[in-house]
Amino acid sequence: MSRLQAGRRHSVRFSLNGKPCTGEAEPRLLLTDFLRHQLAATGTHVGCEHGVCGACTVSIDGKPARACLTLAVQIDGCELRTVESIAPSPDRLGILQSAFKRNHALQCGFCTAGILMSLDCFLRAHPRPDEESIRDLLCGHLCRCTGYTPIVRAAIEAAAELVDHGKEKTDA
């Protein structure tokens, strides 16, 4: 049993976007604040801080999760992925991001990081989704700019492209 005392910082070791990472966190520190303030990973946005809006969604051990409903100390030993992992390099957009851009699936962009992470987790598990399942997934996110339709379109386009992309890789 380990007891991490209040008011003190404790070491947290985990993997962030495929690389080993160590940080220090008080027990009460939220994963959102840990990422943004301690690790300067500001791609993850902070919206409602009670799990409703979805802006802070990240991937923990391959599953989508609200970073605002997770303590930094809870991710010790976990594999964490954030929106920073989506692009292949800092000057190129990933397949999902390009589809979002083409389809105007974002305007202010505040909700986008969370939606990309939800879709990224979902499309890995469901490579050929229908519109209904994407809409069902998106009910865990609030977007006040787009009306969701362009996001659904972008997700379906990206899914098809990811399947083709996967095929190319296997054929090569």
Residue numbers at the binding site for other proteins (CB under 8 A): 1-7, 26-28, 30, 33, 49-52, 54, 57, 60, 63-66, 68-71, 73-74, 76, 118, 122, 136-137, 139-141
Q: Which two tokens stand for residue 138?
A: 């998106």
Write out the H or E segment, with its range, that includes residue 11: strand 10-16
Type of residue numbered 140: G
Nearer to other proteins, 99 or 119 (CB): 119
Give the nearest distance from C-beta 164 to other proteins in angstroms. Answer: 25
22, 13 Cβ separation under 8 angstroms: yes
49, 28 Cβ separation under 8 angstroms: no
Give the nearest distance from C-beta 169 to other proteins in angstroms. Answer: 27
Nearer to other proteins, 68 or 159 (CB): 68
Q: What φ, ψ does residue 55 adopt, rounded to 5°?
A: -60, -30
Give the nearest distance from C-beta 126 to other proteins in angstroms. Answer: 11
Nearer to other proteins, 62 or 88 (CB): 62
Nearer to other proteins, 79 or 93 (CB): 79
Say how many C-beta atoms besides its own lie within 10 A of residue 136's C-beta. 12
Which distant-in-sequence residues (6+ apart) come within 8 Å of 77 by Cβ?
Answer: 13, 14
Give the nearest distance from C-beta 66 to other proteins in angstroms. Answer: 6
